Amino acid sequence: MLFNSIPFLLLVIPTLVVYYLPFMRRFQLHVIVVASFIFYAFNNPVLLTLLLASIAINIFTSYGVIYGPPPRRKLYATIGVVMNLGLLIFFKYSPLIGHTFFPKGSSVGEFLVQIPLPIGISFFTFQGISLLVDAYRGKALEDYAALSAGSLAKHALDVAAFKSFFPALVAGPVVKAHEFLPQIRVKTLAGIDRQAAFTALVVGYFLKMVVADNMKDHTFWLAYPYFMEYHSVTLIFLLLGYSVQIFADFAGYSLIAIGLAHLLGYRLPDNFNFPYISTTFSEFWRRWHISLSTFLRDYLYIPLGGSRKGQVNTYRNLMATMVLGGFWHGAAWSYAVWGFFHGLMLAAERLASDLGFAPGKRLPRWVHMLFIFACVTFAWLLFKLPDFIDAVYYLQAIGRNWTGYDINFLLAFFITLFSVPVVLYHAWYLWRRNGERPGMASVRPLLLGAMIFLIIVNSGSGASFIYFQF
């Protein structure tokens, strides 16, 4: 079920009405769970069994970690993490394993290749892992454990609501247990941050429906074999367009999720902080998919040793974290190469810092921004063309198609047109980052009004969110 669809509207409005009825206050978590199950099962009810299995695994293992005998807490946590990863590996990576390690025609290989990818499995699996690790560490869950008073029924309901919370269920943000569980309490209409909810929803729907959904009709040609017959300049514009599209699509989804959570009285973590103004790769990862990058830092990079065990181990840990982060995005080697590239750039920046160099320090900030944006944009090619050989063909086409083909000026015009809002969005941040400017309060309603108008009159054809595939 898409956020930008009539069925979703018909789900969320009754849910909010029932949720805030005075006599339903004791059952608000029940309402969230039921609405979330309907949301997840809408297109493929069979997949609900997987979500239920994942919830059951995390209910019983996390209960053992929080309330079980201390000598067995580590055992429960280990079993839970292994089972979470087992589900993720089986459903997400079996096709890759089948293609890579089994000969064509093998019955086992054919079986593995045909295993479907359940929507959202990467996100709700990571949330389950965070629940177990946070519970084992005791991170910010002491008050929650005291409130639950050891009740398995209450714990089961809390975990079910956390794992299935429909605003963040299928494409994040990746919500950690210590961020969500302490928020569980009775919600009232008076407690809603209406301005934050309204702004997040309007900007999110604008980025998705006006920018990303229109841009996708033009970046469609960034696919094999269509791109083979385009001029190199057009190919570069297509890449720029996809870079804008993937930001608008995923940042839009995240803002909609945050806005919906506000309506239910919950706060989800920010997931994007104007990433295309970054001047270094490390800054980019502090601004792009923040919930994932912090998850990888807290639950992978730091446990591996982080930067505590010498320079060589720091570079190794960076590379391992980013390669695994790449694999998290998809069961294809191109995602691993994408992760390797970002890991290599992060390690190179760390090496330069360790050696006392500040490459290009004298260059203007905008030069750094353009360089990082260009590198990130070319790396997105591996997302759009997960078949690695297609990405190679695309780069070859850029290199050789400078002659013999005409520049598609109409395509370049529309890509530029739908890129303007994202450029202005980042420029707005740069303009106001030093504080509120005179007249800004009066301009904001006008901007939101213009976005609502464009959503109504100029939305693109509906499409799934790009990160649904991950």
25, 221, 364, 367 from 233: Cα distances, Å:
58, 14, 26, 21
Is residue 329 annotated as a catalytic residue, yes or no? yes
- The two structure tokens encoding residue 1: 């079920």
Query: Can you tell me the distance from the alpha carbon of 449 to that of 408, in angstroms, rounded to the nearest whole number?
Result: 33
Q: How far apart are CA 448 and CA 454, in angstroms?
A: 10
Among residues 169, 172, 150, 167, the alpha carbon closest in space to that of 62 is found at: 150
Strands (E), 395-464: none
- 344 is written with which tokens? 């290599």
Residue with tokens 């605003």: 167
Residues 6+ away with beta carbon under 8 Å from 192: 262, 263, 265
CA neighbor of 325 nearest in space, from 122, 462, 136, 171: 122
For residue 4, CA distances in Å to 13, 32, 65, 258, 418 come to 14, 19, 39, 15, 19
Write the CA distances from 83 to 54, 61, 155, integer angstroms: 9, 10, 19
Residues sharing a CB contact under 8 Å with residue 181, sequence separation 6 or more, in sequence order = 131, 141, 144, 158, 162
* The one catalytic residue among 218, 262, 329, 342: 329
Q: Burial of 52 by CB count in 10 Å (0-12 exposed, 13-18 middle, 19+ buried)? A: middle
Are 171 and 39 within 8 A, CB to CB?
no
Q: Is 16 exposed, middle or buried (0-12, 13-18, 19+ CB in 10 A)?
A: middle
- For residue 272, count CB atoms less than 10 angstroms from its CB and return exposed for 0-12, middle for 13-18, buried for 19 or more: buried
Q: Are 123 and 174 in contact (CB under 8 A)?
A: yes
How many CB atoms are closer than 10 A to CB 384? 21
Q: For residue 338, which amino acid is it?
A: W
The token pair that represents 350 in the structure block: 């760390």
Quick one: which H or E segment has residue 249? Answer: helix 232-263
Exposed, middle or buried: residue 71 (CB in 10 Å: 0-12, 13-18, 19+)? exposed
Active site residues: 329
